[in-house]
Amino acid sequence: MKKVLLTLTIGLALVLSACGGGSSKNESAGESSASAEDIVKKNCTGCHGVDLGGANGPSLQHVGSKHSEAEIENIINNGQGGMPKGLINEEDAKKVAAWLAKKK
């Protein structure tokens, strides 16, 4: 009986944890209400560093002097080098590209 109860408890915990976490994304439209800086903090700093100075990925501190906004957006959407494509949705990629293009 204890095994059954433990199994049910663990199963319930797994199901409920998958349902939580409310997102700021409008899933049906694929849009996010987050700012570009927040999107970068959440999705990019693991590879590009907290200060965007580089880590596993290259520095983005002056990326706007190297790439245009359109080029940055293309890299975000399609990947390049070790960066995989599709890490963020296209609408967020547009926001992030505009923000990063100003970093000169």
Give the DSSP H/E element, type plus range, for residue 82: none
Residue 48 exposure: Cα atoms within 13 Å on the Cβ side: 18
CA distance 86 to 74: 10
Q: Is 47 annotated among the ligand-binding residues? A: yes
Q: Is 19 annotated among the ligand-binding residues? A: no
Q: Is 1 annotated among the ligand-binding residues? A: no
- Please enumerate, by residue number, every residue annotated as part of a binding site: 44, 47-48, 83
- Please enumerate, by residue number, every residue annotated as part of a binding site for heme c: 44, 47-48, 83
